Amino acid sequence: MLTYANPNRFMQLARRLTRPVWGLSLACLIIGLYMAFSAPADYQQGMTVRIMFIHVPAAWMSLFVYTFLTVSSIFGLVFRHPLGHVAAKSAALIGAGFTLITLITGALWGKPMWGTWWVWDARLTSVLVLFFIYLGYLFIWKAIEDPLQAGRVSSVLAIVGFVNVPIVKFSVDWWNTLHQPASVSRFDAPALHSDYLWPLLVMALGFQLLFFALWLLRMQTEIFKQKLRVRRLGLVETSNGTAS
């Protein structure tokens, strides 16, 4: 009963939340974009500082989504929560998308600032590895037909892959690299001027809400799929039963 009750309650909640979350996310992104383009040019980086307003939030999201994916996987694997694997699967492609955005905008920011598209430093390399881990996770879901099996196997992979998340986070502190260290999430006052901080935070909120908006829809899609599968299996069984 629990397996049925839970997705149904989730569906009710999701149906109610989807539209407001989409609306809020688009509003934040539009306001954020406006603020990003009206921010003054940086004295050092000039206009290219505007790339920061998508690069940094996307990088935060790539880590957040992976953490979310790992926690959902643990709920699925250890606590056998019926929605755990589904929640993880629904998040994976979105996380991969944000990681790809991080890598591409990073390259486009690096070219005018450092004079090269890519440097093999710890931060960039570990984010690339994060992207590969997302891909491996997605391939597992493609490779294994049975969703219950795929859920368990991919969860183990997700948990193993989590070792990379702290490496990404702290790579700039542990190794001296070209990449600048965190300038917002410091315990003392942020090193970033408020002209840049506010657009950054609004964009980050927009990305976060966009993630939830997309995730809610993907969750509902997965639950639809599950329902259809159960029903079709049931139809096959009953038709077999009447035949014999």
Partner 1 sequence: MEHVFYIGLSYGVTGVILCLLTANTLSAFFSFRKQIDDEFKPEDSANSP
Partner 2 sequence: MNSFIALIRQDIALAWRQNSAGLSISFFMMAVALIPFGLGPDLKLLRDIAPGLVWVALLLAVLLSLESIFQADLEDGSFDQYLLSGTPLEILMLAKGLAHWVGVVLPLVLTAPLAGLLLNIDTPSLLPVCLILLAGSPAMSFLGMMGSALAAGVSRSGLLAALMVMPLYVPLLIFGSSALSQILKGAATGDWINAVFLLLSIGGAALFFGPLVAAAGLRAFLK
Query: Which residues contact partner 2 by CB under 8 A?
Result: 77, 125, 129, 132-133, 135-136, 139-140, 143-144, 149, 152-153, 155-157, 160-161, 164
Least CB distance to partner 2 at residue 127 (A): 12
Q: Is 187 helix (H, G, I), strand (E, B) or coil?
A: coil
* Token pair 């899609």: residue: 221
- List Cα–Cα distances, 194 to 36, 37, 50, 75, 191, in angstroms: 12, 14, 14, 39, 9
Q: Which two tokens stand for residue 29?
A: 């992104």
Least CB distance to partner 2 at residue 145 (A): 9
Pick 9 or 111: Cβ nearer partner 1: 111
Least CB distance to partner 1 at residue 189 (A): 28
Query: Which of partner 2, partner 1, none does residue 174 bind to, with CB < 5 to 8 Å depending on kind?
Result: none
Pick 56 or 86: Cβ nearer partner 2: 86
Closest CA relative to residue 129, chosen from 174, 96, 154: 96
Strand partners, 46: 42
Residue 15 amino acid letter: R
Query: Which of partner 2, partner 1, none does residue 7 bind to, with CB < 5 to 8 Å depending on kind?
Result: none
Q: How far apart (Å, rounded) are the C-alpha atoms in residues 209 and 28?
A: 8
Kindly give, in sequence order, each residue whose CB lies less than 8 Å from that of residue 210, ignoring residues fewer than 6 positions away.
Answer: 25, 29
Closest CA relative to residue 25, chosen from 220, 218, 211: 211
Pick 159 or 217: Cβ nearer partner 1: 217
Binding site for partner 1 (CB under 8 A): 46-48, 50-51, 54-55, 58, 93-94, 97, 100-101, 104-105, 108-109, 111-112, 210, 214, 217-218, 220-221, 224-225, 227-228, 231
Least CB distance to partner 1 at residue 130 (A): 16
- List Cα–Cα distances, 215 to 15, 51, 137, 233, in angstroms: 12, 25, 17, 27
Q: How far apart (Å, rounded) are the C-alpha atoms in residues 104 and 172?
A: 19
Pick 77 or 203: Cβ nearer partner 1: 203
Query: Which of partner 2, partner 1, none does residue 8 bind to, with CB < 5 to 8 Å depending on kind?
Result: none
Least CB distance to partner 2 at residue 144 (A): 6
